[in-house]
């Protein structure tokens, strides 16, 4: 369905056309009744699109506010009820009685200039209601960027985001009684190097609550996005009924943890307690907090949160401390950072050979290392063998550990054993304690094996448990892109960028989707915000050139791609040649990628960049090799 539904009086169609064109030039999908095809049941079609749109732009004019504008008023009333109503005026008129509560944005006298402050105000409100940033004006007119002050137009004050604010207030919340978020615990030790420990304490409480069952627990990434938020703000933004906050003060011999359970709506405290224990008893504190929270919420926990080892943890506080140090380093994706994390997990499993979670984490790190930093195929095979061994040990120790099967699935995916990956990930997501990473990985695998609807459902689960996780939203965009649902992919990737502005995966998917929608100029603007030698940008720029008839310019991307990535980019070389229309070179590159077991081939069945060679029998042969 479309982003924006435009309600207007049919006689105003020539005046509404520039508004449709301007919105579509920004990559938005727009529905208006000019799109009703011959033979369609027009009333049913209008109702369907009206109810599906997230923004209903109601155009008030002399005609639509007059006696013959009853259909516009009906559509406006319906959108008001759903919280999607955004009014604009084409003439100097007041909206009809009952529609004046929200100030209308004036487009009186507007001639279609995308840089006009009046249109920028409309665009900003539309994008705000859709939960994303407005694009820059594309007109050759004024280059002035939109600012909140430019919303003072037409003699009235139209606050940017006012319509979006109404929509947000009316949006149904997910705050069931058993939903909970654990915010990062404050480090009161006076030593920033101990941040990993206080953050880790909060994560261990999350893990205990999630794995034991009975509660819907928001994942770590989203919780940490609201590190400095108060309980009411966190409850609202995460759509949870309950929020846990806390603090940690650690000394060489003791640890003091204070925790509070707060009503996410009222801010009232439901339970609080402080724990002073020797360092060796730190594991018991986490279990005690989880048990007390459960009692305060009158939640029946499955097998009880008192024994972390029962679901893959450890009874050794030193081993756990090493685990927490490693997870705190996960923002460092360098080869050195990965090696350090693997070394920490080696030490943790040496201290506790039955620490299943540590084996599972180690397997994930080893897989990323093998698929990213191996210098040759032999080294990759050695590293992947180590990753499989760690994952198998995790599930051997704890057969119900979701993370163990997720690690196995990731290793299989990177080893191009896609059917085995699907089996392992299916097991992971069926177990308590599964996380957004496993859900998104399974969503990708499902979409790449022609199970698109199931893949999208997995991604939706991920964005529910981890709603502020930019990576989950970026992968949602990727899955939608692979399903040829480009407009929705634009929405998802823009949402990811609203969370993490520098997220390269999200920006590349946004650019790709815009290209396949035919919006090359907005795509170029997105690509210019990425490193010039990024493989995703090079493929996209080559595609724009090829689709514009500049095949020689498209081929220019091959040199920097090879220079930066060497043979590791053979899959991307195949994508570029496919877009250029050189089937032989595209197939040759993809065959080379198979010899190197390039993990990019996991997307070969659904990759839109490869559509020009999809009918070649040689292509079918490569697909058969990958998927058996």
315: in domain: no
Residue 271: band (very low, low, confident or very high) from pLDDT cuts 50, 70, 90: confident
Residue 78: band (very low, low, confident or very high) from pLDDT cuts 50, 70, 90: confident
Same domain, 10 and 153: yes
Q: What's the pLDDT at 346?
A: 97
Structural domain containing residue 552: 531-628
Same domain, 9 and 94: yes
DSSP states along 497-548: HHH-TT-HHHHHHHHHHHHHTT-HHHHHHHHTTS-TT-HHHHHHHHHHHHHT
Q: The tokens 């006076």 sit on which residue?
A: 190
490: in domain: no
Q: Among 264, 281, 306, where does a domain finish?
A: 306
482: in domain: no
Same domain, 27 and 114: yes
Q: Tens digit of pLDDT for each residue in 349-408? A: 999 999 999 999 999 999 988 887 776 778 888 889 999 999 999 999 999 999 999 999
Q: What's the pLDDT at 384?
A: 92
Mean of all residue pLDDT scores within the chain: 84
606: in domain: yes
Q: Among 306, 340, 363, where does a domain finish?
A: 306
Among residues 342, 347, 359, the alpha carbon closest in space to that of 393 is found at 359
**Pairwise CA distance, residues 3 & 86, whole Å:** 13
DSSP states along 63-85: TTTSTT-HHHHHHHHHHHHHT-E
Rg from Cα positions in the chain: 27
**Which bin fits 549, alpha (ψ -120 to 50), beta or left (φ > 0)?**
left
How many domains does the structure of the chain reveal?
A: 3
**Pairwise CA distance, residues 464 & 435, whole Å:** 11
- The two three-digit tokens of residue 403, written as one number: 């993370």
DSSP states along 405-463: HHHHHHHHHHTT-HHHHHHHHHHHHTSTT--HHHHHHHHHHHHHTT-HHHHHHHHHHHH
List C-alpha distances in Å: 8 to 46, 47, 58, 61, 180: 12, 14, 6, 8, 43
Same domain, 190 and 294: yes
Please state the rounded mean pLDDT for residues 134-141. Answer: 47
Q: Tens digit of pLDDT for each residue in 234-270? A: 998 898 999 999 899 888 888 888 889 899 888 888 8
Please state the rounded mean pLDDT for residues 556-579. Answer: 92
Same domain, 86 and 190: no
Same domain, 187 and 140: no
Output the domain CATH number for residue 52.
3.40.50.10140
Same domain, 114 and 37: yes
List C-alpha distances in Å: 262 to 32, 169, 211: 46, 22, 21
> Residue 458: pLDDT above 90?
yes
Helix axes 504-516, 520-527, angle to 10 degrees: 160
Q: What is the 3-state secondary structure (H, E, C) of 104-131?
A: CEECCCCCCCCCCHHHHHHHHHHHHHCC
Q: Among 262, 281, 306, where does a domain finish?
A: 306
Please state the rounded mean pLDDT for residues 153-173. Answer: 31
> Residue 161: pLDDT above 70?
no
Q: What is the DSSP letter of 280?
A: G
Output the domain CATH number for residue 217.
3.40.50.10610
Strands (E) in 183-293, as ranges, are: 186-187, 216-217, 242-250, 254-263, 269-278
- The two three-digit tokens of residue 383, written as one number: 């590293």
Mean pLDDT check: name the lowest of 44-48, 142-146, 316-320.
142-146
- The two three-digit tokens of residue 557, written as one number: 């991307």
Q: Tens digit of pLDDT for each residue in 506-542? A: 999 999 999 999 999 999 999 999 999 899 999 999 9
**Is there a contact between 291 and 259 (Cβ–Cβ < 8 Å)?**
no
Q: What's the pLDDT at 100?
A: 62
553: in domain: yes
Same domain, 202 and 103: no
Q: Is 518 exposed, middle or buried (0-12, 13-18, 19+ CB in 10 A)?
A: exposed
Mean pLDDT check: name the lowest of 49-58, 96-105, 419-428, 454-463.
96-105
3-class SS of residue 277: strand
Close Cβ partners of 303 (under 8 Å, ≥ 6 residues apart): 212, 213, 310
Q: What is the DSSP letter of 22?
A: H
Model-level pTM? 0.67
> Residue 453: pLDDT above 80?
yes
List C-alpha distances in Å: 588 to 22, 567, 575, 624: 42, 13, 11, 16
Q: What angle do CA 18, 24, 29 make, to 5 degrees?
A: 125
**Which bin fits 4, alpha (ψ -120 to 50), beta or left (φ > 0)?**
beta
Same domain, 155 and 294: no
Close Cβ partners of 587 (under 8 Å, ≥ 6 residues apart): 574, 613, 616, 618, 619, 622
377: in domain: no
Same domain, 224 and 276: yes
488: in domain: no
371: in domain: no
- The two three-digit tokens of residue 533, written as one number: 């030698």
Length of the chain: 628
Same domain, 185 and 272: yes
Q: What's the pLDDT at 167?
A: 28
Strands (E) in 26-73, as ranges, are: 30-31, 55-60
Q: Which residue has the higher pLDDT, 144 or 427?
A: 427
- The two three-digit tokens of residue 418, written as one number: 């896609």
Q: What's the pLDDT at 220?
A: 87
Please state the rounded mean pLDDT for residues 187-207. Answer: 86
């Amino acid at each position: 369905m479309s982003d924006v539904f435009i309600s207007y009086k049919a006689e105003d169609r020539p005046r509404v056309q520039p508004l449709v064109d301007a919105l579509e030039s920004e990559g938005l999908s727009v529905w208006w009744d000019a799109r009703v095809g011959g033979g369609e049941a027009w009333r049913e079609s209008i109702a369907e699109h009206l109810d599906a749109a997230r923004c209903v732009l109601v155009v008030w004019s002399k005609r639509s506010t007059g006696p013959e504008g009853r259909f516009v008023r009906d559509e406006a009333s319906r959108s008001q009820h759903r919280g999607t109503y955004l009014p604009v005026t084409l003439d100097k008129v007041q909206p009809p009685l009952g529609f004046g509560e929200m100030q209308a944005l004036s487009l009186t006298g507007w001639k279609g200039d995308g840089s006009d402050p009046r249109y920028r105000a409309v665009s900003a409100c539309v994008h705000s209601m859709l939960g994303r940033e407005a694009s820059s004006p594309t007109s050759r007119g004024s280059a002035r960027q939109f600012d909140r002050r430019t919303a003072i137009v037409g003699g009235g004050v139209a606050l940017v985001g006012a319509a979006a604010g109404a929509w947000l207030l009316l949006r149904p919340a997910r705050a069931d009684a058993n939903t909970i978020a654990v915010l990062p615990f404050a480090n009161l030790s006076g030593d920033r190097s101990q941040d990993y420990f206080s953050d880790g304490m909060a994560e261990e409480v999350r893990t205990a609550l999630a794995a034991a069952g009975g509660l819907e627990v928001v994942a770590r990434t989203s919780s940490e996005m609201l590190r400095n938020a108060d309980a009411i703000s966190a409850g609202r933004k995460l759509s949870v009924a309950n929020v846990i906050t806390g603090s940690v003060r650690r000394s060489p011999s003791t640890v003091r943890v204070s925790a509070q359970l707060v009503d996410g709506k009222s801010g009232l405290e439901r339970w609080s307690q402080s724990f002073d224990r020797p360092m060796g008893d730190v594991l018991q504190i986490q279990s005690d907090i989880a048990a007390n929270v459960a009692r305060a919420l009158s939640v029946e926990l499955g097998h009880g949160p008192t024994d972390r080892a029962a679901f893959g943890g450890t009874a050794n506080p030193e081993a756990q401390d090493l685990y927490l140090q490693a997870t705190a380093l996960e923002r460092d994706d360098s080869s050195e950072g990965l090696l350090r994390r693997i070394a920490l997990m080696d030490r943790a499993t040496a201290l506790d050979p039955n620490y299943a979670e540590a084996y599972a984490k180690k397997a994930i790190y080893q897989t990323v290392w093998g698929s990213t930093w191996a210098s040759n195929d032999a080294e990759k095979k050695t590293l992947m063998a180590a990753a499989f061994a760690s994952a198998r040990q995790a599930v051997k120790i704890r057969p119900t550990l979701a993370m163990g099967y997720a690690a196995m699935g990731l290793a299989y995916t990177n080893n191009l054993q896609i059917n085995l990956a699907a089996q392992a990930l299916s097991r992971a997501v069926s177990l308590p304690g599964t996380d957004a990473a496993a859900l998104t990985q399974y969503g990708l695998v499902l979409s790449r094996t022609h199970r698109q609807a199931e893949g999208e459902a997995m991604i939706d689960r991920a964005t529910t448990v981890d709603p502020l996780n930019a990576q989950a939203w970026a992968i949602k965009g990727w899955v939608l892109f692979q399903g040829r649902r480009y407009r929705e992919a634009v929405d998802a990737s823009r949402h990811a960028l609203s969370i993490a502005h520098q997220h390269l995966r999200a920006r590349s998917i946004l650019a790709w989707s815009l290209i396949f929608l035919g919006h090359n100029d907005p795509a170029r603007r997105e690509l210019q915000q990425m490193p010039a030698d990024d493989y995703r940008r090079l493929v996209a720029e080559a595609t724009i050139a090829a689709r514009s008839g500049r095949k020689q310019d498209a081929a220019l991307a091959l040199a920097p791609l090879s220079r930066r990535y060497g043979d590791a980019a053979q899959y991307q070389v195949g994508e570029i040649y496919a877009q250029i229309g050189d089937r032989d070179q595209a197939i040759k590159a993809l065959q080379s990628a198979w010899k190197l077991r390039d993990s990019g081939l996991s997307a070969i069945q659904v990759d839109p960049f490869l559509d020009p060679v999809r009918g070649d029998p040689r292509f079918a042969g490569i697909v058969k090799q990958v998927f058996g």
